[in-house]
Amino acid sequence: MKRGGRYRLWRSPRGLICAALGLGFGALALAGFCLPLDPSGLDLGHAWDGPSFGSPCGRDGLGRDLGARLLIGTGTSCGIAVMSLGLALTLGVVFGGAAGWCGGWIDSVIMRGADLLMGIRELALAVIIAVLIGPSPAAIVLILGLGCSPSLIRFVRSLALVQRGQAHVLAAVALGAPPFHVLVTHILPNIAGPLAVRSAAIIGPLVQAEAALSFLGIGVQDPAASLGTLVRDGLFGLRSGPHLIIATTSIIFLIALTFTLLADEVRDVTDPQWPGRSLWEPR
């Protein structure tokens, strides 16, 4: 934690747990793309086999190696979540920064648009986009990115409004600095910390949302693997092979836990006024 103004990762049990989980999931995601795996190889003679030496995670109802599908699915779901976050951050920074800095009718138009988008429930938005462009990973990225953007627009706008009244910003404006220069040089660096905390906290729910939408058949489609399609396969074979849904839901839980801890650690690093707490100290 931060003691005496300096951050020490090894003094924070929460930071060590977060680092270990993060490295583990990073290795899983990279292994899914780098190793010569065959997540679609069928072996009906070994359907619903439990863990064994040749298949440490067992097999699903079509005899496909669950370990390979978990590696590929984890990388796919995390990649979709990261791309969705990138889209939401782009929209949030551009429109939220413009609303907070410009004010007036520009602020009103942007915020009413955000209110309208926020009023459309995510499942309804998913159905609309799936009908327009078809169920695919691109549809999931668009659905989740648009679904997250209204809250990020509001968040960035509130931060920009606070920064707009700071002395250094007023001084830069008085000296004739162009608005874009002020926004990039004086405002964005000062809101980067809170925005990083918010982004880390969003990743876990995005992975869960991707799993839910792929489970419903709107996102990644079989035989491609994602955490959502794995949950669906595991639900259909719950009695025959419970190891499938147990392994998949455990991965989803650990991803959400990892990024929740990461958000706390990023807050401790970026907020100079936050005293910091150990994982074991009461809230």
Report pLDDT for 283: 43
Find out whether 207 and 167 touch, Cβ atoms under 8 Å.
no
Q: Which of 140, 110, 109 is nearest to 122 (CA)?
A: 140
pLDDT value of residue 37: 59
Q: Which of 111, 98, 109 is nearest to 164 (CA)?
A: 98
- Indicate the fold that domain 66-270 takes in CATH: MetI-like fold (1.10.3720)
Tens digits of residue pLDDT in 13-30: 666 776 777 777 667 666
Integer angstrom CA distances of residue 158 from 13, 99, 172, 175: 33, 9, 20, 25
Rounded CA-CA distance 61/172 in Å is 65
**In the chain, where the domains are located:** 66-270
pLDDT digits (tens, 9 = 90+) for 39-98: 666 666 667 666 766 666 767 767 777 777 888 888 888 889 999 999 999 999 999 988
- Residue 4, classified by CB atoms within 10 Å of its CB into exposed (0-12), middle (13-18) or buried (19+), is exposed
Query: What is the Cα gyration radius of the chain?
Result: 22
The pLDDT of residue 279 is 42
Rounded to whole angstroms, the Cα distance separating 116 from 236 reads: 37
Tens of pLDDT along the chain (283 residues) come to 444 445 555 556 666 776 777 777 667 666 656 655 566 666 666 676 667 666 667 677 677 777 778 888 888 888 899 999 999 999 999 999 888 888 888 888 999 888 888 877 777 777 788 778 877 888 889 889 988 899 899 999 988 888 887 888 888 878 887 877 787 788 888 888 888 888 888 988 898 888 888 888 887 877 778 888 888 877 776 666 677 788 888 888 888 888 888 887 777 777 656 555 444 444 4
pTM: predicted TM-score of the whole model, two decimal places: 0.81
Average pLDDT, the chain: 78
